[in-house]
Structure 1
């Protein structure tokens, strides 16, 4: 393990966010987070599968791993037809970034699945982005990356460091700088973020490995057709998500009982209320000693059309 005097340059980009912890060895930066941003979440989602943001244990052996010395791949991997499972990048605020296409091969942004910051929650109640978190540019400053792809190459915002327009990008939203260093850029149209992996990665089960596992608390729910999320308020003691469905209001209120148990109160738009208590399930790698979990049935995407 390196000493603090050997701190890799990319560590500083994550250190701007107080809730993150970083460590490193000779080849890898490890980033620990709970997966939650300091901005509001979920508001504006029009296609909702009833997930809510819960903290995730992306710590210890389940931390994010970013290669310190990325290498260009002989055969890059396009996100148009691959990498439909798991994250493909990590924002510098510790929030993972998934493929811009959902597990059905549809553009998540155009499908109305994302909030005002380009994120939503997965089936494990894990918050993540599907488009570039360009709001982070105001925090990190011009010329600094807003994320790192899991191949180790940085992702910058919508302009060059001097504010000039970005030059021609390849199919992965990437380019080489004058010094010959490769990097990705955000765009306002597909693929929004890195459009795949220009660098060397290991892929198993259509997912980049290694990467952390979410830790599901509740059973995965079904889409609530016609619902729009109108408000979300969160404190350490309680979170309340408010939605509208057919002109009526419903809420999901939830709070921690202890570190592994949460209480949920569901107030349906018709006025009915029910209370559930859930205990966090062990992660797949905890139960079986490592390796990626098998895809959930709905994660198996159908053949692409066209």
Structure 2
């Protein structure tokens, strides 16, 4: 069953937290220069304990995965608590029907993350790496950033992604964006995404939750809206070769902050998926430990690899 948050009208927060820039020096801001975005269409954690120190509740958000692809390895996923760390391991095989969009076969790999149960806000939010894992979905599929090997935006490669926002690479199967469509088997069905609830998509490497950005516009949920990124395409000539340089964070131009998240009315910081760059996260709002992602991937405040 999907883990969902009951929609409620947001109450404006007086936030003292702040964000730093995560791109080149000419667009970077210090942690005290950019205020955290506060929610005006939000959710509450009435029935979901997120990033509050409850490791068992956090572990329970991961699915009991079952095979959906009889000609491929069965999906494997475990989430175990060790003090203030949640260790998540998977083989990257999806629990939904695989749709081939690349020449690579669906193959098992080793995905291992150690997530902070009580994440710490970074003094200077870190850049997400150009390649590799930046988080993990609730079905154990690794979440990647917006770029491909070329440095270009993943959407610059026509047909590279399935309707689910995923594809196989020579390394492993992974998500680049949160997608759904009618009559297509994805992480969540269109019916679930459009049901009136905000749905937990996965967890960032810093321990903060990643939610579907398709949310209720008001307490009664008379309509649903897609939250908008505050990253703007300012040089489309670079879209297919250097998507980070092609985009600029413009504070207040969308619904979310530079990391593609916000503080909701319950005081909880959450990332939200968007249909435009950066799709999942624009930077790490929280601290990412050196061993958060097996084999690396958690970039710090320095330059993007």
The verdict on a shared fold, with TM-score over 0.5 as the criterion, is: yes
Q: Is residue 136 of structure 1 aligned with residue 223 of structure 2?
A: no
Cα separation, 2, equivalents of 1:202 and 1:102:
24
Q: Is residue 68 of structure 1 aligned with residue 121 of structure 2?
A: no
In the other structure, the counterpart of 1:20 is: 77
Q: Is residue 170 of structure 1 aligned with residue 257 of structure 2?
A: yes
TM-score, with length taken from structure 1: 0.56
Query: SS of the residue aligned with 2:167?
Result: strand
Q: Using the TM superposition, give the Cα deviation of residue 171 of structure 1 relative to its aligned residue in structure 2, in angstroms.
A: 1.9
Cα separation, 2, equivalents of 1:29 and 1:146:
17
User: Which sections of structure 1, spanning at least 5 residues, go unmatched?
Assistant: 1-5, 204-208, 214-291, 294-299, 302-306
How many residues are paired up? 195
Query: SS of the residue aligned with 2:106?
Result: coil
CA contact under 8 A between 2:88 and 2:113: conserved in structure 1?
A: yes
Structure with larger RCO (C-alpha < 8 A, sep 6+): 2
Cα separation, 2, equivalents of 1:66 and 1:210:
6
The within-5 A match list for 1:1-306 is 8-18=56-66, 19-43=76-100, 45=101, 48=102, 50-58=103-111, 63-79=112-128, 83-112=129-158, 113-124=160-171, 126-133=172-179, 135-138=186-189, 142-160=197-215, 164-165=224-225, 166=227, 168-202=255-289, 209-212=291-294
Q: Using the TM superposition, give the Cα deviation of residue 104 of structure 1 relative to its aligned residue in structure 2, in angstroms.
A: 2.5
TM-score, with length taken from structure 2: 0.56
In the other structure, the counterpart of 1:235 is: none
Cα separation, 1, equivalents of 2:156 and 2:117:
34
Shift of the 27–7 alpha-carbon distance from structure 1 to 2, 3 Å rule, reads: closer
Query: SS of the residue aligned with 2:262?
Result: strand
Query: SS of the residue aligned with 2:161?
Result: coil
In the other structure, the counterpart of 1:263 is: none
Shift of the 14–133 alpha-carbon distance from structure 1 to 2, 3 Å rule, reads: farther
Q: Using the TM superposition, give the Cα deviation of residue 16 of structure 1 relative to its aligned residue in structure 2, in angstroms.
A: 4.6
What is the Cα-based RMSD across aligned positions, in Å? 2.8
User: Which sections of structure 2, spanning at least 5 residues, go unmatched?
Assistant: 1-53, 67-75, 181-185, 229-254, 298-303
Shift of the 30–128 alpha-carbon distance from structure 1 to 2, 3 Å rule, reads: same
Query: SS of the residue aligned with 1:109?
Result: helix
Q: Using the TM superposition, give the Cα deviation of residue 133 of structure 1 relative to its aligned residue in structure 2, in angstroms.
A: 4.7
Query: SS of the residue aligned with 1:100?
Result: coil
Larger-Rg structure: 1
Cα separation, 2, equivalents of 1:85 and 1:17:
26
Cα separation, 1, equivalents of 2:201 and 2:78:
17
